[in-house]
Amino acid sequence: MFPDNHFYGHAGLLRAYAGVRRAPAMPGRLQHGWQTGPGLSTRHLAEPWPKFLWSDRNVARASEQGFRGLVPLGAPYLYLGASADAGAPRGLLAIPFHGWEKQKIAGDLGRYAESLSDLEARGLGPVTVCLYFTEHREPALRRLFEERGFAVTTMGPRDGNPEFLERQRALLRAHLRVTSNRISTAAFYALHEARPFFLHGPTMGLEATEDPTGERFDAWQRESFPSLYGARAEDVADVGLGAEELGARHRRTPAELRELLAWTPTRAWVRVARRLQRVTHGVSSALSSRR
């Protein structure tokens, strides 16, 4: 029903947690990553069906803008099942800010690699660098890190990859600390896993945006998360911050999730109503675009 509900394997993960093998499509749109604002685009928030958001921050921002049908659910990452012990963690995991399929980063990954060498010289290594798959498949970008002796890995594409979050969790747990040059979803996953996270390295942005250098966002994150700047040997993970940003208090039980997402026989009427609603909305939107 909503293709982006499957980014990072989210829909499948929620089905597994709820104990529903062949669950119907979710009856609304799911936020697919940590966001500073309402969690979804204005266009998606204006849709008539439920919007499943992560945190109190996201719900508050969307509500302030006048949107309704907001349902806090917590990050799907919180619904991951148990996993085997990966052994003693070691070293530093670096997750540089990345582009995506439609936009490239505007920044110098070479400078970022140099900044990681500084951290290694301070005794925080060995360093593992996790690149987004679009950058990982470029040999020249991988070499920027490999030539400095860093291990380089990727979690693969976000779509059609049900193992994405499992691999990400294993990678986080395998390291003592996590760093990036920009706040992103992974920062709060790391804190949730009790791994100290800190911001370090040159700012970056995305091409063809209002903030291509990333300086505007960097000013915001410095003001909003001052405790995440600087790495010290005695750093302790701010697990509470991770829980707040991921919406941990909204995590549902399997039974609550089945009821909320209309994955029970008694809620079949909800699924039918949402399908009709989507058809009606699609026809209305098509007619409006022709005017």
Each residue's pLDDT tens digit, 141-171 = 999 999 999 999 999 998 888 999 999 999 9
**Helix 164-173 × helix 185-192 angle, to 10°:** 60
CB atoms within 10 A of CB 180: 23
**CA within 13 Å, CB half, 251:** 14
Residue 277 has pLDDT above 90, yes or no: no
- Both 230 and 269 in one domain: the answer is no
For residues 150 and 187, membership in a common domain is answered with yes
Same domain, 232 and 283: no
Residue 266 tokens, joined:
């008694």
**Does residue 85 form part of some domain?**
no
Q: DSSP for 85-144, please give it.
A: ---S--SEEE-----BTTB-EES-HHHHHHHHHHHIIIII-SEEEE--HHHHT-HHHHHH
Positive or negative CA dihedral for 190, 153, 179, 224? negative
Q: d(Cα 99, Cα 275) in Å, to the nearest integer?
A: 34
**pLDDT at residue number 1:** 66
Q: Of 197, 218, 239, which residue sits at a domain end?
A: 239
Contact 94, 130 (CB under 8 A): yes
Q: Domain span at residue 271?
A: 3-80+248-290
When pLDDT is averaged across residues 209-222 and rounded to a whole number, the result is: 91
Q: What is the pTM of this model?
A: 0.90
Is residue 64 predicted with pLDDT exceeding 60?
yes
pLDDT of residue 246: 98
Are residues 124 and 59 located together in one domain of the fold? no
Q: Is 237 left (phi over 0), alpha (psi -120 to 50) or beta?
A: beta
pLDDT-derived band at 289 (thresholds 50, 70, 90) equals low
